[in-house]
Amino acid sequence: MNDPSSRRHARELFDQYLGQFPNDLHRDAAHYYLGAIASDEQEPSTALAHFTTIVADFPNSGFFRNAVFHSKNLAALLERQDNTFKERVLRVVGPLIPRNPAGLTTLLGYFVAILGWLVYDWTKVKDKLFKERQPAAWAVLALSITLVIVNYAREWRHTATILDAPKILQPLKR
């Protein structure tokens, strides 16, 4: 099954078989081969779905042990890919995210407000900003962005959260 057109044709036939004979005794074979095809085509999520169908629905199948083996390997692969992607995203975005919940909430609130203003009536906003060049519209946008930046900078200096207040206030108690 190294030929892509053969895999595509086989996939179509197995899908058609499962559609026409939903209660047939040999559905396990169709799911197994669909899983193998998906695996060959670098579609681990689809392959895992077919192999886990065999594990869940056909415990007495001759394909059961292989399906368990492939399911475990594919699940581990997907987890590694997911973790790798998360690590890459967090490495880039992590330092930019405020470290305390209050700062994050405020930052997200500002972004939602700015985006809401822009999206609510994009044509009017676009006209006011770029065609008419109204100073008030630019001032609102600049002020909003400035507030986001100032809040973000202040948050970096004050990393303690409201949850840390009992620890900070502890020495003050008598």
Residue ranges covered by each domain of the chain = 4-89, 97-172
pLDDT at residue number 103: 66
Per-10-residue mean pLDDT for the chain, 174 residues long? Answer: 83 94 92 94 91 93 94 88 76 65 71 79 82 84 78 61 50 52
pLDDT at residue number 98: 62
- And the tokens for 22? 């939903």
Burial of 125 (0-12, 13-18, 19+ CB in 10 A): middle
pLDDT at residue number 19: 93
**Superfamily designation of domain 4-89:** Tetratricopeptide repeat domain (1.25.40.10)
DSSP secondary structure, 3-59, as one string:
SHHHHHHHHHHHHHHHHH-TT-TTHHHHHHHHHHHHHHTT-HHHHHHHHHHHHHH-T
Burial 42-72 (b: 16+ CB within 10 A, else e): eebebbbbbbbbbbeebeebebbeebeebbe
pLDDT at residue number 11: 93
In angstroms, the CA 70 to CA 37 distance is 12
* Amino acid in the structure at residue 3: D
Exposure on the CB side of residue 140, measured as CA atoms within 13 A: 12
